[in-house]
Amino acid sequence: MKLGSIILFFAVCSFTAYYIYEPIPEDIDERWKLMLTDCFFRSLSHLADLSEFLGLMDYMGVMYLITLIENVTPESDKHVEVTVETFDGVEVLLYQPKQQGGDAELRRAVIYLHGGGWCLGSSRMGPYDLLVRRMVTELDAVVVSVEYRLAPPHHFPVPYEDVYRVVKHFLQEGVLAQYSVDPGRIAVSGDSAGGNLAAAVSQQLQKEPGQQIKLKAQALIYPVLQALDLNTPSYQQNRDMPILPRTLMVRFWSQYFTSNQAFFRAMMTNTHNSPESSSLLKFVNWSIFLPEKYHGKYNYSAPVVVQGAREDVGMDGLSRSLSDPRASPLLVPDTDLHSLPKAYIITCEYDVLRDDGLMYATRLQAAGVEVTLEHYEAGFHGGIMFTVWPTDFLIAHRMTDNYIKWLEENL
């Protein structure tokens, strides 16, 4: 039944694909599969728009179905013990290697933050469950997968604060001892919006007075890192690219901050900056931080700054959020970067967020942080999630292998 409906769905999609054909770059592998996968996301997005228009359910409510479809009940197996815990009031899935005959050795640990634009996703989604299990078995690591609260019911800073509370709670001697974790071998990691949260907590933690236990590494998978300039070359080049078209990313950003549609429209035209945020545009200036080869045919022009009161978009609290490095980790001066833990950053050529990751890599390197940048020339956003039939892609396996290898060697 489930298989039948999936096949039927793909058949309908392949038919529809002729009509909504978006050219997918030649060098992407498995193009047809990607086109069909994208067709699913596009159809759902149209349905969500329609549903919101008719007042049935709001856009994100419909999109959340993807999460629900992919959710599994994480269960312990032969190698991994999975439990649901609450860390300082926040739910987490805790994955631990099963003991092998009284080994007293301390383990490494990864705090993992799922993606989904702060509005979608769950640590319970099948692809995350699989990814995390591989980390546990191949790295002999304890993994804390955080079920932070989501926007739009919970706007910024709630998702961030949930994650921060978990990290603070976990990085206590007593807690680490309870799970046999080595305090010197802990990483924070996440994909997309999860990469945003991982970068943000890494920065904030180093400012925490009296924080004894530090992170050893941060592994950021095609992270979102800034909300000030939504017209970087990658935003322009990949405006209609599968999985994460620009409109959807802008929607995620605006919903992270507010449900005000006027703000979404301002972000769409890149005219959402206020005089307050404009002083920070220098930190996201791609003409400086983006290696020349990624400039492409695009010329730099700074986002338009609208002067005066922006009551139309309720700018008051928003301009504070826009300028907040806990939302946009790129917005900090170099002095806040140099003591950060070493970083692994994945970027994909066909991703609106490519330049966020590349600019952060440049800035971290310039500040003296050890950075491993892995750029996938034929990669697309969300790639690492596509490990499960029928939307399984070779690139997902390649990304996962490389990611785990880096953790193996660096954590």
Which residues of this protein are in contact with ligand NAG, per CB under 6 A? Answer: 281-282, 285, 287-288, 297, 299-300, 302
Judge whether 254 counts as a catalytic residue.
no
CA separation for the pair 393, 378 (Å, rounded):
12
Q: What phi and psi values does residue 143 have, to the nearest 5 degrees?
A: -120, 130
How much of the chain is helix, strand and coil, in % rounded to 5?
Answer: 45, 20, 35
177 vs 288, which CB is nearer to ligand NAG?
288
CA separation for the pair 326, 177 (Å, rounded):
29
**Nearest distance from residue 273's CB to ligand NAG, in Å?**
10
Judge whether 381 counts as a catalytic residue.
yes
281: Cβ–Cβ under 8 A, 6 or more apart, which residues? 228, 229, 273, 302, 303
73 vs 299, which CB is nearer to ligand NAG?
299
146 vs 284, which CB is nearer to ligand NAG?
284
Judge whether 169 counts as a catalytic residue.
no
Neighbours of 123 (CB within 10 A): 24
Task: Give the residue from 273, 207, 252, 262 showing the smallest Cα distance to 353.
Answer: 252
Neighbours of 301 (CB within 10 A): 10
118 vs 286, which CB is nearer to ligand NAG?
286
CA separation for the pair 185, 49 (Å, rounded):
45
213 vs 306, which CB is nearer to ligand NAG?
306
CA separation for the pair 33, 30 (Å, rounded):
5
Please tell me whether residue 297 adopts helix, strand or coil conformation.
coil
221: Cβ–Cβ under 8 A, 6 or more apart, which residues? 115, 189, 190, 191, 192, 194, 195, 346, 384, 399, 403
Task: Give the residue from 197, 204, 97 showing the smallest Cα distance to 147.
Answer: 197
**Nearest distance from residue 296's CB to ligand NAG, in Å?**
9
Residues found in the chain: 411
CB 148 within 8 A of CB 154: no
Catalytic pick from 38, 191, 351, 355?
A: 351
**Nearest distance from residue 333's CB to ligand NAG, in Å?**
13
In sequence order, what E strands does 45-180 have? 80-87, 90-97, 107-113, 141-146
41 vs 300, which CB is nearer to ligand NAG?
300
114 vs 246, which CB is nearer to ligand NAG?
246
CB 300 within 8 A of CB 287: yes
The single-letter code of the amino acid at 337 is L
Please tell me whether residue 339 adopts helix, strand or coil conformation.
coil
Catalytic pick from 192, 234, 323, 328?
A: 192
Q: Is 265 exposed, middle or buried (0-12, 13-18, 19+ CB in 10 A)?
A: middle
Instruction: Provide the annotated active-site residues.
Output: 192, 351, 381
